[in-house]
Amino acid sequence: MTPSYDEERLGELLRLLRPAPAAWVRAAQELPFARRTFDEIVARAEADRIFRNALIADLEKALAREGYEPDPRFFGELRTRLTER
């Protein structure tokens, strides 16, 4: 069934998809530039059991101790990957 659109309805739907705040969008767009550190941590955790266990015990402390400063948005995904493997 094809929906019908009058002008009022179109206006309502156009209003619904408002721009997300520009700073949020920029931050999401910058993710590729922060990825290298994430990949490095994951690779090292796969190869080094002691490092991996330290990350599982206290992710942020272990990273700081090793001199890593990953984007905090990666913490959730790092935790997930560490428990998946």
**Residues in touch with another protein (CB under 8 A):** 2-3, 5-7, 10-11, 13-21, 24-25, 27-29, 31-33, 35, 38, 73-74, 76-77
**Cβ-based neighbours of 27, under 8 Å, separated by 6 or more:** 73
* Minimum distance of another protein from residue 70's CB (angstroms): 11
Whether the CB-CB separation of 46 and 52 falls below 8 Å is answered with yes
Handedness of CA 62, 67, 72, 74 (dihedral sign): negative
Closest to another protein by CB, 33 or 49: 33
Closest to another protein by CB, 48 or 76: 76
